[in-house]
Amino acid sequence: MRPLADTRTLRPTETALALKLVSEMSLLRLKTLARLHARGLPPDLGWEDLLQEALTRVLTGARRIPEGIAPVAFIAGIMRSLRSEHWKRCGAARRRRNASGSSGMYSARGIEGPDVAPDPERSLIAAEELQAIERLFADDPVALGIIDALGEGLAAGQIRTALSLTKTEYDSARKRIRRCLLREGLTCGPK
């Protein structure tokens, strides 16, 4: 005799497929987008978590898909939003640690917080990556100028003014940079 109650636990992706919120092809697209949005996130926050959380928000009604918007585009936007929220939380935590002089929960107990300065190995890796980037863009002074300006923390408008670029020239150069870095595997998320 079959059990009277279904005791299976469906994951949000399975539920979304069962409810025909997304097709199998759309789910494949979402998985690809989730992998892109998860780049640079900590290992404990993987692309699957990002996708599952985005689908959960849609399924629970926390986020409703507006009329006329494709579900894939809307769910991709939720994943982008989740990634931004994560980096904002990390930035706020870092600012609190810097303001208190160390990492709050440690200093309250009289324990020295973790050392946030890069160790020699990380410094060497960063220097090698910078050299690789400089070699990649040696023939593209606009791209190198944008990379340098971004490293100094300048905003897009400031960079365009400093390098005398139009918005289109700036956007085109950023796309060239992004494509080249992706091709070479030199991308990472904000730190």
Say how many C-beta atoms besides its own lie within 10 A of residue 98's C-beta.
Answer: 11
Domain count, the chain: 2
Task: Kindly state whether residues 124 and 85 are assigned to the same domain.
Answer: no
In a domain, 132, yes or no: yes
Supply the pLDDT for residue 73.
86
- Domain hosting 153: range is 120-184
Please tell me whether the overall predicted TM-score, pTM, comes out greater than 0.85 for this model: no
Task: Kindly state whether residues 65 and 127 are assigned to the same domain.
Answer: no
Give tens-digit pLDDT for 70-98.
888 888 888 888 888 888 877 766 666 65
Short-list 177, 84, 182, CA closest to 76: 84
Task: Kindly state whether residues 59 and 125 are assigned to the same domain.
Answer: no
In a domain, 4, yes or no: no
Residues 160-190 as b/e (b if ≥16 CB within 10 A, e otherwise) read: beebebeeeebeebbeebeeebeeeeeeeee
In a domain, 110, yes or no: no
In a domain, 101, yes or no: no
Phi, psi of 77 (to 5 degrees): -65, -35
Give tens-digit pLDDT for 107-132.
444 444 444 555 677 777 777 877 88
In a domain, 190, yes or no: no
Q: Find tokens 């092809």 and name the residue.
A: 25
In a domain, 111, yes or no: no
In a domain, 113, yes or no: no
